[in-house]
Amino acid sequence: MSNDTTDITKSTINKNARLPDGQGFLDIELDPSLDLFTGIERLKKEKNAVLLAHYYQEPDIQDVADYIGDSLGLAQQAEKTTADMIVFAGVHFMAETAKILNPSKKVVIPDMKAGCSLSDSCPPPLFKKFKEKHPDHVVVSYINCSAGIKALSDVICTSSNAKAVVESFPKEQPIIFAPDKNLGAYINKVTGRNMLLWNGACMVHEIFSLEKITKLKIRHPNAKLIAHPECEDPILRIADFIGSTTGLLKYTQSDSSQEYIVATETGILHQMMKASPNKTFIPAPPNNSCACNDCPHMKLNTLEKIYLCMEYEIPEILMDEELRLAAKKPIDRMLEISKAAGL
């Protein structure tokens, strides 16, 4: 079981004094003639830096990244990198994970305010009290959570390996699943488990409009609906395929259909279109006036911010060592389970 003695309320992010008050990034004017792509490549070589980017980043960031992936792939890359500095184009829990796995390396993030609504929905002090009410349960936490939640967990999972992680426990073992209730409900359904779910959700995946998607399917009768398991159950029920971000990408490459309605953050469409340029990809509409569903946190990162954080090496992720060790244990267990499952 997890070690609950860790101070889970400590800040894991360095609010560097060189950052303006209340600002998450360096606001320095760059020479408008600077070629950011060339500049970033130069800084990679000068500083022996690796740029890791999530699929939900803007296309230009994906194109300049050394590795693009989902949460599992990014964690695996962070674990094995030989770079001296990790530049993480994602949100803060992802950069935290990189630091947890690489305590001796410098980890920087373009914008410290690139947070996560799902991670924010599970404050460590409240979750600790919740966990204490169920002492016979093990805790499986989705990687989209803070280092404090990871430190309270027995094993971490991603949408790619959640089924394998849950099934690594005996069926009679009670499990708490946090923080995503939709992913937890989906894993309950596919495994036959009855996990106790924390009531958290992702703002991006929770606002897809069933009505608008149904109308889209009528207008595009040959299009398949593919959905991320963080979506709500009504969306998943009508989906032709459910998978992690990487799983959705691979499905569109191997499947014979020519048209897809994609129910996840729109950043993945860039890779889908690059891999299958002759296919059509339609972003699933949210329940608001927008035509597509972008994560406002992911989209805080820009090429300018990446260049500046590499040049000045801030904002930097720093972490209390006791917290880091407590959070590393369940991540290591996840990586072991994933390796054994061939993921």
Query: From first to last of its 343 residues, what are the pLDDT tens digits of the chain?
Result: 444 433 333 333 333 436 777 788 888 888 889 999 999 999 999 999 999 999 989 999 999 999 998 877 888 888 889 999 999 999 988 899 999 999 989 999 999 888 888 888 899 999 999 999 999 999 999 998 999 999 999 999 998 899 999 999 999 999 999 999 999 999 999 999 999 999 988 777 777 888 999 999 999 999 999 999 989 999 999 999 999 999 999 999 999 999 999 999 889 999 999 999 999 999 998 876 665 677 777 888 999 999 999 999 999 999 999 999 999 999 999 989 988 878 7
- In this structure, are 259 and 192 located in the same domain? no
Is the residue at 342 inside a domain?
A: no
Is the residue at 85 inside a domain?
A: yes
| 108: three-class secondary structure by DSSP | strand
- In this structure, are 47 and 82 located in the same domain? yes
According to DSSP, the residues that pair with 224 across neighbouring strands are 260
Give the CATH number for residue 157: 3.40.50.10800
- In this structure, are 105 and 124 located in the same domain? no
Is the residue at 162 inside a domain?
A: yes
- In this structure, are 36 and 70 located in the same domain? yes
Domain that holds residue 233: 210-283
The one-letter amino acid code at 115 reads G
Q: Using one digit for the tens of pLDDT, what is the confidence trace for 280-334?
A: 999 998 876 665 677 777 888 999 999 999 999 999 999 999 999 999 999 999 9
Is the residue at 11 inside a domain?
A: no
CB neighbours (10 Å) of residue 35? 10
Which tokens sit at 161? 């390996």
- Look at strands 196-197 and 175-178 and give their pairing: parallel
- In this structure, are 109 and 123 located in the same domain? no
Label residues 72-101 b or e (16+ Cβ within 10 Å = b). bbbbbbbeebebebbbbbbbbbbbbbbbbb
Is the residue at 322 inside a domain?
A: no
- In this structure, are 139 and 74 located in the same domain? no
The rounded distance, in Å, linking the Cα atoms of 96 and 186 is 26
User: End-to-end distance of the chain based on CA atoms, in angstroms?
Assistant: 25
- In this structure, are 192 and 215 located in the same domain? no
Is the residue at 331 inside a domain?
A: no
Is the residue at 203 inside a domain?
A: no
The total number of structural domains that make up the chain:
3
Is the residue at 33 inside a domain?
A: yes
In 3D space, the residue among 259, 274, 268 whose CA is nearest the CA of residue 294 turns out to be 268
- In this structure, are 192 and 127 located in the same domain? yes
Which tokens sit at 133? 């009410």
- In this structure, are 129 and 191 located in the same domain? yes
Q: Which of 162, 197, 232 is the last residue of a domain?
A: 197
